[in-house]
Amino acid sequence: MSSRIVTALLIAALAAVPVRAQAPVAETVVGGPLGMPQVSAPIALLIDVNGGRVLFERQSHRRFVPASLTKIMTSYVAFELIKAGKLRLDQRFRMSPDAFRKWHRVGSTMFLAQDSETSVAELLEGIVTVSANDGCVVLAEGVTGSVPAFTELMNAEAKKLGMRDTHYNTPNGWMDEGETYVSAADLATLSTALVTRHPDLYARFYGHERLAFRGIEQPNHNPLYGYVAGADGVKTGFTNEAGYGLVGSAIRDGRRLMMVVGGYDNGKVRARESRDFMEWGFAAFEAHSLFAAGAQVGTARVQGGETRTVPLAAPHALALTLLRRAGARYSLTLRYKGPLRAPIAKGDQIASLIVRVPGQGETRLPLVAAVDVPEAGSLARLRNGLLAMLGQ
């Protein structure tokens, strides 16, 4: 198929002041009170989800041991299965004697009893809020029958998301001599998909500061909670092998930032620096709104479908991210490889919105199908053939 570039909708002018854009901020410091705080983590990444822009980057593609950051993918797999109708929140899974022997009171736990039955909703709450190692294993065995089969699902989803520097050998991130590894860039990709593909499930299970389960109350150790306004995720991680890591997310006035830090050797330093890091991202940059979540941005041609075009929509609020008080002229272009082939499912990412600031490269923002486009039936094939003969 040929590549078609459908040139876009508008050229917007905010101001004519040049700005630093596409390239990562790296180690540069923004002047004045909005200056970059100290971030001593060997691995660090901060992105603006709405604008698709990297605000800071340090070794974001370096592979490292994630510890409990693994559980983000465990929950993502469950969310995908729930969305597909293959898993229900009210299903109950049993703590097998073998799982109990291996995981009772090992690391962070929900204190599941042998042969106890726990709902998927309760397991997800425990996995996300208190990093329950036992809950991960019960979920994995309940969904697929075994831990290895569940990790196959985890790796399959990582491949779908383009996570090239990631491999999972366990659903809970317990030490496995480095067989489980990730990168900051991959964790940001995963966590962004978690939020944007499953906003309702994310809101239900993430962002809770405490878990009360079967008479035991435990805190969530996310250092952003209670300190950073709008913080709603994502996950902490710690083992002696991995050190202290964090994937953090916060949203203010519809603008979401996603942060990944890894390799700290001190939890208090991780807490202090991660809070300052997130606050800097909100203070030093601002978003210029492009499209609201769900807004139709354009259309794309479809081959072999019940309809000959599909509307393209913003999967979440899309924005241009710029240094605060700076402005720029920018242009927008729709790009997709087409014509697209049916069937197409609503929500599939099928195109990109290219945002260009003169002299500063481009940013790609995702666009999704706004509706389902099934394969053409006999009447639709006849109609499409006649229209093609007429050059339409």
The tokens for 388 are 């093609």
Strands in 267-388 per DSSP E: 285-291, 296-303, 309-313, 318-323, 329-337, 340-341, 349-356, 362-369
> Rounded distance, CA 377 to CA 161, Å?
31
Cβ atoms of residues 376 and 384 within 8 Å: yes
Work out the number of other CB atoms within 10 angstroms of the CB of residue 43: 24
Strand partners, 355: 332, 363
Residue spans of alpha helices (H) in 206-318? 267-284
The tokens for 31 are 């002047």
Has 131 been annotated as catalytic?
Answer: yes
Has 71 been annotated as catalytic?
Answer: yes
Choosing from 60, 68, 249, 274, which is the catalytic residue?
68
Choosing from 71, 183, 235, 249, which is the catalytic residue?
71
> Rounded distance, CA 4 to CA 323, Å?
32
Has 40 been annotated as catalytic?
Answer: no
Query: Nearest 5°: phi and psi at 325?
Result: 70, 10
Cβ atoms of residues 306 and 299 within 8 Å: no
Strands 340-341 and 296-303: parallel
Choosing from 75, 108, 131, 183, which is the catalytic residue?
131
**Residues involved in catalysis:** 68, 71, 131
